[in-house]
Amino acid sequence: MKWEKYSLINESHLELFKQYHDKKEKDWYNNQFHLSGYAGSTNDPNGLVFYRGQYFVFMQNCPFSIEHWNKSWGLYTTKDFINYTYEGLTLIPSNDYDKNGVFSGSARVNSKGEMEIYYTGNVKFNDIDRTSYTLRAFIDLKEKIVTKELLFECDLKKYTGHFRDPIVFEKNNKLFMLNGAQTLNKEGVLNVYEFNGNSWEFKKDILIDEGDEQNSYMVECPNYFAIDGKEYIFSCLEQETSLKEGSHFVKYREVEIDNDLNFNFKTNLRKIDLGFDFYAPQIFSNTQDRIIMLGWLGNSKSNPFPEELTTWSNHLTIPRELFVKNDYLYQLPIKELENLRLGEISSNKDSYEYKNGLVEIIGENISNKDFEIKIQSNDKFISLRNENSNFIIDRSKMDFNDEENLPSIINLNNLDIDKIRILVDRSCLEIFINDGQFAISLRFFIKNHNTIITDLENKKIIQLDSNKYIWNNIMFKNQMMER
């Protein structure tokens, strides 16, 4: 079948998606403890919510292309972040309001105990012009039905049509909605709506970079949460520059929002993740005992495609717990991921051999001294090194190189490293420095990597296991709510 960018899908395509999936499962680069779609491309995590004893992880997924073409929402459920059930394709383009893509959004449990989903429907007029709609949806996991309801259309007198990614949150017994938007002057703003009991009302636009101007032409994938009595917002800010120069980063800042919806920013913008392979994070909306975040371990400015990637691309980060320390957000892998550990690996001098491309590296008491960690297979490797107090990532010796999409040298300057923890999967890794002070997400492409070589003095190298999956290659029925 010849697919086009905005092709629509139906149940007759499921057998083809299974063929794509089967090939993906045989691909070395297919990650083992990072979630991705059943087939095709993956990007933003969506609708993260804890509901009826399970964590729901929706994600942007185009099942028929490795490109970011017409988006649906795939769904995983889990009770422990190790054992997952893939529930199928849930929200799919199915009506005049989302026919060119079910874009990102969020989920919450309402006062009736129902899970309600808010998302953006994308509609293109031509190659340039578009509009968007904000919709609500309800999902019946037992009957495999999604019921959608139109809320409102983007105001094209104010915005270009780039208006998307609703996050709904409650504050002082009121419901608010944040969307990312682009004004007609090509300025990125946060848009705020309030629910009046019957419908959603526009309240104001907010410059998330007020007092710390970023010159962003678009703001997308916003989020709001409170932790330890502090309020935070974060968003993806897009700028007209290259990936290597920092065009697409996720940044956060502490804020106080008063009853009149005035945003009083307490800090400047700060990066959540220092890597170039991180975008569109979202938190679980109702895990109040801890703040759990997932991101896309990729970037809309970066599309590396090794020749092996013919039926899938991209993946999410591992779940991370956020906490506040020294007035900054810190992050670490959630505790449950320690259950992936199979045992410590013994060394052969400074060399450690691991299996299946899955390994964890822990270094302590470094005192910002020089060190190097190589992850390699034969003569191919990536190097992570602290050199004269500069932390440098070198991806120049991989099996697949792409300078535009995977800058080979990343110099993160002085991170004053005392501790480092790295979780390595088949084609990505995540680095956590100084107990979560810094996080760095990284894609890499080395076939059959199986060796760690390092001169770290105080270290542990641990064999990791993969997640366990139950696969349901199904497509939910999508329908509009009767009025």
Domains and CATH numbers, the chain: 11-320+469-480 (2.115.10.20), 345-466 (2.60.120.560)
Integer distance in angstroms from the first to the last C-alpha of the chain?
Answer: 37
Element containing residue 411 per DSSP (H, E): strand 409-411
pTM value is 0.97
State the average pLDDT over residues 425-450: 98
Nearest to 63 by CA among 8, 140, 119, 121: 8
Judged against a pLDDT cut of 90, whether residue 413 lies above it is answered with yes
State the average pLDDT over residues 141-148: 98
- Over residues 4-56, the pLDDT tens digits come to 999 999 999 999 999 999 999 999 999 999 999 999 999 999 999 999 999 99
Local confidence band at 320 (pLDDT 50, 70, 90 cut-offs): very high
State the Cα–Cα distance between residues 98 and 83, nearest whole angstrom. 32
Residue ranges with strand state E in 337-388: 341-344, 351-353, 359-364, 371-377, 380-387
70 DSSP 8-state letter: S
Positive or negative torsion for Cα 193, 196, 200, 203: negative
Local confidence band at 328 (pLDDT 50, 70, 90 cut-offs): very high
CB–CB of 451/390 below 8 Å?
no
State the average pLDDT over residues 130-137: 98
- Residue-averaged pLDDT of the chain: 96
State the Cα–Cα distance between residues 3 and 127, nearest whole angstrom. 17
State the Cα–Cα distance between residues 261 and 390, nearest whole angstrom. 42
Positive or negative torsion for Cα 432, 433, 438, 441: negative
Judged against a pLDDT cut of 90, whether residue 244 lies above it is answered with no
Local confidence band at 1 (pLDDT 50, 70, 90 cut-offs): confident
